[in-house]
């Protein structure tokens, strides 16, 4: 997966958006934001997909 694909698929258009996603995921998963920001893009994407899946299940 190229880095551009991650940005487009996740709705991230700028570095500030990527930082916001990392902080949101850190809050969701209850981890230190610094730990989340240190993760590779593919791991961030996977974390985001699972967070979205979990949220969707809770809405049902």
pLDDT digits (tens, 9 = 90+) for 5-18: 555 566 677 888 88
What is the pLDDT at residue 51?
94
- pTM for this model (two decimals): 0.76
- The residues spanned by each domain of the chain are 3-59
pLDDT-derived band at 1, boundaries 50, 70, 90: very low
Q: Mean per-residue pLDDT for 35-45? A: 92
The alpha carbon dihedral of 56, 54, 42, 11 has a sign of positive
Report the chain's mean pLDDT, rounded to a whole number. 85
Measured distance CA(55)–CA(48) in Å, rounded: 11
Per-residue b or e along 29-51, where b marks 16 or more CB atoms closer than 10 Å to that residue's CB: eeeeeeebeebebeebbebbeeb
């Amino acid at each position: 997966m190229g880095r551009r694909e991650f940005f487009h698929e996740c709705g991230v258009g700028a570095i500030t958006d990527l930082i916001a996603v990392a902080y949101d995921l850190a809050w969701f998963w209850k981890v230190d934001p610094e730990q989340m920001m240190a993760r590779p893009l593919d791991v961030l994407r996977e974390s985001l997909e699972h967070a979205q899946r979990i949220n969707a299940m809770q809405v049902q």
